[in-house]
Amino acid sequence: MKKPIFTGAAVAIITPFTENGINYEEFGRVIEDQIKGGTDAIVVAGTSGEAATMSDEEHKAAIRFVVDQVRGRIPVIAGTGSNDTAYAIQLSQYAESVGVDGLLVVTPYYNKCTQKGLIAHYKAIADAVHTPIILYDVPSRTGVGIQIPTYVELAKHPNIVAVKEANGDLSKILRLRAAVGDELVLYSGNDDQIVPILSLGGKGVISVLSNVAPSDTHKMCQSYFDGDVETAAKLQIAYTDLIDALFCEVNPIPVKVAMRKLGYAAGPLRAPLSEMEPAHEQQLEAALHNHGLLK
């Protein structure tokens, strides 16, 4: 069995921006509040962190900052995926050099490579580093999904240890578990499927919800692991409205707006992301009020 990089709820953390770059003072505040809230790990420079619009310098600086701020208190996982294999290797090696605990590597977007290409891509990255890798399957964003035989092949690599599944297809996830067993640790990539994926042997979630509700997202996972499935399920169901609001427009638009409403200087969304539609913002605000997050 491969060892989980973390167990529980990892926050897919936002990146607070100014008009000119990263707001490191506020970034530190967000990180400290996440740790106080019980978050089990931090994923930096992922989708929610707007890594797609970061320069290479910013991407690396954000990873280094989070590692330095966390100081080993909880695991730090860096998003280092790219549609350019050579750049993904370079970024992964950099993240390893500054001390991350894991690498989150999304499938190559836009290129739409074959499954053979996916295997070659991931093996090249895994061969170039010693830090454990989490595969990231999110075909709605990338245009390519990881098929079951590809998982079976990639699971043979000792450095490929886990998968973040955000394909939304529980039947496929069931068949993934049947095919690879414990050779790939399973994490949910969707906040509305945390408990269902835990019931299939998942070890946690990489969560957008954790940005605004770290304690309860952690509690949802921990309750399940403690055998209190009823509490875990009740939390999953209770947060449906807020999860829906956080994904009523493409992530990370709603969560960035939510963090502003909670008093964080989250800063602007980077183009081509735009501000929320007024009706969606009202939906988000109502959900935050409903959970006592806004007074």
Task: List pLDDT tens digits, range 161-219.
Answer: 999 999 999 999 999 999 999 999 999 999 999 999 999 999 999 999 999 999 999 99
Q: Kindly tell me the sign of the dihedral angle through the C-alpha atoms of 227, 233, 239, 240.
A: positive
User: Is residue 121 pLDDT above 80, yes or no?
Assistant: yes
Active site residue 94: no
Q: Kindly tell me the sign of the dihedral angle through the C-alpha atoms of 272, 108, 4, 89.
A: negative
Q: What is the pLDDT of residues 79-98, one digit of tens each?
A: 999 999 999 999 999 999 99
Let me know if residue 124 belongs to a domain: yes
Structural domain of residue 203, as residue ranges?
8-228
Q: What is the pLDDT of residues 132-144, one digit of tens each?
A: 999 999 998 999 9
**Alpha-carbon span 282 to 248, nearest angstrom:** 11
Let me know if residue 258 belongs to a domain: no
User: What's 40's domain CATH number?
Assistant: 3.20.20.70
Let me know if residue 14 belongs to a domain: yes
Let me know if residue 16 belongs to a domain: yes
R_g of the chain, CA atoms, integer Å: 18
User: Is residue 241 pLDDT above 80, yes or no?
Assistant: yes
User: Is residue 295 pLDDT above 90, yes or no?
Assistant: no
Let me know if residue 287 belongs to a domain: no
- Predicted local confidence at residue 1, as pLDDT: 77
Let me know if residue 284 belongs to a domain: no
Question: Residues 164, 203, 219, 256: which is the catalytic one?
Answer: 164
Let me know if residue 253 belongs to a domain: no
pTM of the predicted model as reported, rounded to 2 decimal places = 0.97
- C-beta separation of 105 from 122 below 8 A: yes
* Secondary structure of 229-260 in HEC code, one letter for each residue: HHHHHHHHHHCHHHHHHHCCCCCCHHHHHHHH
Q: What is the pLDDT of residues 6-44, one digit of tens each?
A: 999 999 999 999 999 999 999 999 999 999 999 999 999
Number of domains making up the chain: 1
Give residue 226's pLDDT band: very low, low, confident or very high (50, 70, 90).
very high
pLDDT averaged over every residue in the chain:
97
Active site residue 136: yes
Question: Residues 136, 151, 239, 264: which is the catalytic one?
Answer: 136
